[in-house]
Amino acid sequence: MKTIPACGCAAVLALGLAGAASAEVVHLQVGERLARADLLQPGVHRYVRYTIKGEDRIPVDVWTRSLSFASHDGVRAMHITQRWTRAAAENRVLVQDSWFEPGTFRPTSHIRRAESASKVEISGYQWTPTKVVGMAGLADNVRQDFVMALPQPSYNFEYDMETLTALPLAAGRVFDIPFYDAGIDKPGRYLFKVAGQETITGPDGRPLDCWLVTADYNTGQVKSRFWFAKRDQVLVREEGALDDGRTLVKALLPPEAGDPPTGRG
């Protein structure tokens, strides 16, 4: 999920494509099988998010992402849930529940449940190739009347990490991806560039060879950097520039004793 607003500006995207003319640009189309889809395996990944400004490190939340495969609407489907638990005293929680077509990662539905001490707000969306609409049959859905036309079929922007994991990352390669963050922004295409490779410290404290991927979200300036472990393309670290000058960091935590083992779907 991107951490800054995206302008969706076609002119900026065109400039980005021109700048990437010497690189290999891969134009993704929803519905085509992703080259490394087999890397999306059942299991749990947990991240801590915190901000950096000067010498200060301020915790934001713990973010848990769980992936599984199950029968959904009579067909085998990929199921991903996300849970953010805030570090602040108000104990706010955000839960997202989403379904996808295995292999292609085509989104079919997306539900957000935002909980606080005073209220619970539910928003649910159904995805089609031409539009995203509010789920009429979802109880207490505050976005039942929502409609957003899609100029092209789009991936769910809340799952950019998994989308990138399933791509053939290689030095100098650029991915042109249609994304939409349901109910938040407008749909658009975004460039993700494999800017190089770096060795960083992994969650177990050992050096880990990674692909470094960057994104500018159509602003013309790099806003996010992602480090994906080469061995399985799992996201190890992300750093994003915030408007107030802080850096938002997302760092992979070691597995917990009760986590299910990663396995074949």
Confidence at residue 4, expressed as pLDDT on a 0 to 100 scale: 41
Q: Where are the beta strands (DSSP E) in 3-105?
A: 24-27, 43-53, 56-72, 75-86, 93-101
Phi-psi region of 172 (alpha: psi -120 to 50; beta: other; left: phi over 0): left
The residue range of the domain holding 116 is 10-252
Distance CA 101, CA 15 (A): 33
What is the number of other CB atoms lying within 10 angstroms of the CB of residue 248?
17
Assigned domain for 265 exists: no
Query: Is residue 200 a contact partner of residue 209, using CB atoms and an 8 Å limit?
Result: no
Distance CA 230, CA 103 (A): 20
Assigned domain for 71 exists: yes
Assigned domain for 90 exists: yes
Phi-psi region of 236 (alpha: psi -120 to 50; beta: other; left: phi over 0): alpha
Beta pairing class for 43-53 and 247-252: antiparallel
DSSP-based three-state secondary structure for 128: coil
Assigned domain for 91 exists: yes
Confidence at residue 9, expressed as pLDDT on a 0 to 100 scale: 36
Of 142, 159, 161, 177, the residue nearest 107 (C-alpha) = 159
Assigned domain for 263 exists: no
Q: What is the pLDDT of residues 182-229, one digit of tens each?
A: 999 899 999 999 999 999 999 999 999 999 999 999 999 999 999 999
Confidence at residue 11, expressed as pLDDT on a 0 to 100 scale: 37
Confidence at residue 92, expressed as pLDDT on a 0 to 100 scale: 84
Of 21, 258, 31, the residue nearest 152 (C-alpha) = 31
Assigned domain for 14 exists: yes
Assigned domain for 121 exists: yes
Distance CA 229, CA 234 (A): 6
Q: What is the pLDDT of residues 169-192, one digit of tens each?
A: 999 999 999 999 999 989 999 999
Confidence at residue 2, expressed as pLDDT on a 0 to 100 scale: 59
Residues 6+ apart with CB under 8 A from 49: 59, 60, 61, 62, 63, 248, 249, 250, 251
User: Which whole-number Å values give the CA distances from 227 to 161, 201, 210, 251, in the listed order?
Assistant: 10, 11, 6, 10
Q: Could you state, in chain order, the average pLDDT of each consecutive group of 10 residues for the chain (265 residues)?
A: 41 44 86 98 96 94 96 96 85 92 98 90 97 96 97 97 98 98 95 98 95 96 97 97 93 90 63
**Cα-Cα-Cα-Cα dihedral sign, residues 103, 108, 112, 113:** negative
CA atoms within 13 A on the CB side of 150: 21
Name the domain count of the chain. 1
Query: Is residue 49 a contact partner of residue 242, using CB atoms and an 8 Å limit?
Result: no
Assigned domain for 264 exists: no
